[in-house]
Amino acid sequence: MTNNHAEVLLSVRNLVKNFELRANTGIRKTHRIVQAVADVSFDVKVGQTLGLVGESGSGKTTVGRSVLQLIQPTSGEVIFEGEDLTKMSFEELRHVRRQMQIVFQDPFASLDPKMTVGSSIAEPLVVQGVGGNHQDKVAELLDLVGLSTDHAKRFPHEFSGGQRQRVGIARALALDPKLIVLDEPVSALDVSIQAGVVNLFGDLQKRLGMSYVFIAHDLSVVRHIADQVAVMYLGKIVEIGDKDAVYRNPSHPYTKALLSAVPLPDPKIERSRHRIMLEGDVPSPVNPPTGCRFRTRCWKATELCAVEEPQLVVRSTGQQSACHFPE
């Protein structure tokens, strides 16, 4: 693990992202707002990893893409190395993007099937006008992610899923970024090869010193790589803090429920522990519950939870959680 006193590389403050839903039924037009991300704040330190965790539809991917300005936030600040990206022009962002990259969930969909792997990896260098011998750089990057230099001449369909993801990682590293957003980078891979890719991320971080925002729904994967963990539910962060504090002493009922669903390797402990089964589905972000958004599925909910939205509060174990009745 890295130094907890490292300087902050990325600071997200009060991030909000709304999407407009428009429909024309023939009788009347409807216009609704979906708040995919609601007042999200966090920091990512130099050389560290923030794990952003939550169910599908929690808003974690929208946060990642808003950080990179791939989608424009509705409001809030995204401060990278002291500069607010939301206030930059397209040309200014173009220069900053050399320092910020992304690895997508589906490695096959993120690679052009008509381009060789070598061309795909070199493409960021060409787009950014980087001089020098691109062939040597591609060979260096392939070696860095555990692939052969001969692979540069092949096409994406000639690789396995794990190898394609390594190609995606090599492409993300081409411009020597300081921050990489990893958007569910192993969820599309076979379980047997997930560990190898996660270990590669750890090795690359130690060697190159970059920071990650690791987006995932699998808490067991995040535990291996994250320094800080932020748990999202329906667009909001409900718990955030040091990985050990969150995993050992989950404060929010939702975090506790997620952790109870993670299988343990010891069969005796696994059989004896209590698994929390959440009832119902995640509410629609078009019409989220009043007060606490988790209250419709929470076994601790009272009338207070319906009328007053809980704020993130520092708990005795160190992390922050947003709950009127913390664990």
Q: Which residues make beta-bridge pairs with 75?
A: 16
Question: Which candidate, 102, 81, 64, places its Cα nearest to that of 73?
Answer: 64
Higher pLDDT, 280 or 291: 291
Q: Per-residue pLDDT tens for 43-85?
A: 999 999 999 998 888 999 999 999 999 999 999 999 999 999 9
Query: For residue 288, what is the DSSP state?
Result: P
Question: Do 156 and 42 touch, CB atoms closer than 8 A?
Answer: no
Query: For residue 306, what is the DSSP state?
Result: H
pTM of the model: 0.90
Specify the CATH architecture of the domain 8-233: 3-Layer(aba) Sandwich (3.40)
What residues does each domain of the chain span? 8-233, 251-327
Q: Per-residue pLDDT tens for 91-149?
A: 889 889 899 999 998 888 888 999 999 999 999 998 888 877 889 999 999 999 999 99
**What does the alpha-carbon distance between residue 82 and residue 96 come to, in Å, rounded to a whole number?**
12
Mean residue pLDDT across the chain? 89
Q: Per-residue pLDDT tens for 152-177?
A: 999 999 998 899 999 999 999 999 99
Residue 3 above 70 pLDDT? no
Q: How sure is the predictor about 319, in pLDDT bands with cuts at 50, 70 and 90?
A: very high
Q: Per-residue pLDDT tens for 173-191?
A: 999 999 999 999 988 888 8
Question: Do 8 and 43 touch, CB atoms closer than 8 A?
Answer: yes
pLDDT at 109: 86
